[in-house]
């Protein structure tokens, strides 16, 4: 009977949760500024998650935190800032250019994750796993492709400010992914403490920008609360993945969330270009299979 290693299973679960969340955002939150959605949803997610933190985090389980120095503190802070920056830079990219070339190039996160782990953490993947990373990354790229030549987003990166911002957002997401892996594995920060730290930290970073374009959300509180529950689950499963396997394995699988989102859009909303979304889904399955081999 075929069974997936735990880290691969967690990564797939995270992709399903985040892909569904992206679909929900597109359907039910488009009237709100993205920064406002981030603050509202993250606040709800922290409130959902805190009872688990209180229940499972014992002071006796935190001896490693007492030895935190400046470097460890900077790594945690840098991971939080990189997570928020990736999101904000992606929004700036969309503001400057069309989604048809910003979205694909902003999703090539594993292309940056792999060399970062190899150079700084001496991570080693098998040739088959590296092939899987490439195929899974291609799946995400194809899933976000809209019109024109498949290589247009890459060509435009040389001259388009929007595409360059998209590329920068992918790099920030990569730093965030590797930072999460280091925090959960090398620094051994308890997962139940890490999740609200990341969610709350991103909220604090984005809050000043959200305040400048704030709109009332009281009438929509139920859906913000429900979305926050989804984000809490997604961040928990994502952290389980990064605490179990290298980021260069978890990241390409988790990023297939884009494939999940576009498949849901094609099936439930009859969105255009469903055929190419199916190609992306097939590539994602092949990529995950190679990574798990």
User: Can you give 127-156 as a three-state secondary structure string?
Assistant: HHHHHHHHHHHHHHHHHHCCCCCCCHHHHH
What integer pLDDT is reported at residue 155 of this predicted model? 76
**How far, in Å, CA of 79 to CA of 247, rounded?**
13
CB atoms within 10 A of CB 190: 17
What average pLDDT values come out for the chain (293 residues) when binned by 10 residues?
78 94 89 94 98 85 65 92 92 74 79 91 90 88 76 75 87 96 93 96 96 96 97 98 95 89 82 77 87 77
What integer pLDDT is reported at residue 1 of this predicted model? 46
What integer pLDDT is reported at residue 46 of this predicted model? 98
- Domain positions in the chain are 6-55+63-292
What integer pLDDT is reported at residue 72 of this predicted model? 87
């Amino acid at each position: 009977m075929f069974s997936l290693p735990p880290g691969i299973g967690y990564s797939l679960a995270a992709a399903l949760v985040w892909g569904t969340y992206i679909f929900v955002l597109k359907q039910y939150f488009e009237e709100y500024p993205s920064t406002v959605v981030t603050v509202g949803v993250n606040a709800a997610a922290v409130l959902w998650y805190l009872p688990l933190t209180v229940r499972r985090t014992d002071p006796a389980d935190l001896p490693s935190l007492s030895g935190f120095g400046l470097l460890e503190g900077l790594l945690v802070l840098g991971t939080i800032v990189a997570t928020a920056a990736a999101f904000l830079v992606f929004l700036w990219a969309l503001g400057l250019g069309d989604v048809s070339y910003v979205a694909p190039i902003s999703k090539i996160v594993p292309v940056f994750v792999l060399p970062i782990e190899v150079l700084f953490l001496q991570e080693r993947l098998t040739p088959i796993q590296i092939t899987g990373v490439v195929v899974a990354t291609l799946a995400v790229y194809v899933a976000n492709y809209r019109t024109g030549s498949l290589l247009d987003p890459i060509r435009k990166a040389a001259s388009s400010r929007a595409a360059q911002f998209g590329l920068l957002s992918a790099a920030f997401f990569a730093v965030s992914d590797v930072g999460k892996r280091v925090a959960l594995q090398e620094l051994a920060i308890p997962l139940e403490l890490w999740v609200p730290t990341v969610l709350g930290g991103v909220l604090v970073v984005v809050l000043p920008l959200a305040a400048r374009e704030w709109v009332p959300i009281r009438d929509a509180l139920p859906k913000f609360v429900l979305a926050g529950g989804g984000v809490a689950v997604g961040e928990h499963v994502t952290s389980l993945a990064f605490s179990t396997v290298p980021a260069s394995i978890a990241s390409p699988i988790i990023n297939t969330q884009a494939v999940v989102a576009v498949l849901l859009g094609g099936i439930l909303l009859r969105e255009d270009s469903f055929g190419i979304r199916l190609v992306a889904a097939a590539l994602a399955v092949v990529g995950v299979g190679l990574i798990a081999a």
